[in-house]
Structure formats: structure tokens, C-alpha cells
Amino acid sequence: MHLLFRKRNTPIQNCIAMKGKQLFDHYQSVAQINGFGSEEFQYGNLLYQALKIEGEEKIFQLLEQAEKTGKRIALEYPEESLQSYPEPDKVILV
């Protein structure tokens, strides 16, 4: 099962080859601007969770890859815990 928040299927506009940290900071800023409950806020939270699971280096690399390919980061949950309150255990691109 994947958890994904996506508003657009396009790369960030007006940004030239942003690094992973810059992308992460951008998404966090957009999340704060759009506020609680917005898709951007949910994606910002998802990125923060992904950072806790995989660490900075991996997430920053995935953000750069996602930007180049038009994908987004998603969280994957273990299949066997779908009936409870599962914690995500993997970060993927979708």
C-alpha cells in the first residue's frame, strides 16, 4: 500500500537544477504557506516522515531523482499490518 499526496505531475516551475536539500526546503515552505489540511502540507509532512525513515542523504537524492523524472516520493507500508495502525517502513518513487 502506498500513501501519496500529489497535486501536479509537473516539476517545480522556475527552478533550475535544485539540489535535494533545496527541494526539501522548498516543499516545506510551500507546506507552511498553504497551511494545515492542504495537499502541500500533507506532502511536506510525508517528506519529513521519509527523512526520518531513510535519512537526509537518501531523501535528498530521491527528491533530485523525482524532480528529473516527474515523480513524487511516497511511503510504503508493510502488508501484514494493514488492519492495525501501521508505520511506514519504506520510501519509494511513484
Where do the structural domains in the chain lie, given as residue ranges?
A: 18-93
**Among 53, 90, 50, 35, CA closest to 20:** 50
Write down the pTM of the prediction: 0.78
- The tens digit of pLDDT for each residue in 41-84 reads 999 999 999 999 999 999 999 999 999 999 999 999 887 756 67
- Asked whether residue 23 carries a pLDDT value surpassing 60, the answer given is yes
pLDDT at 81: 59
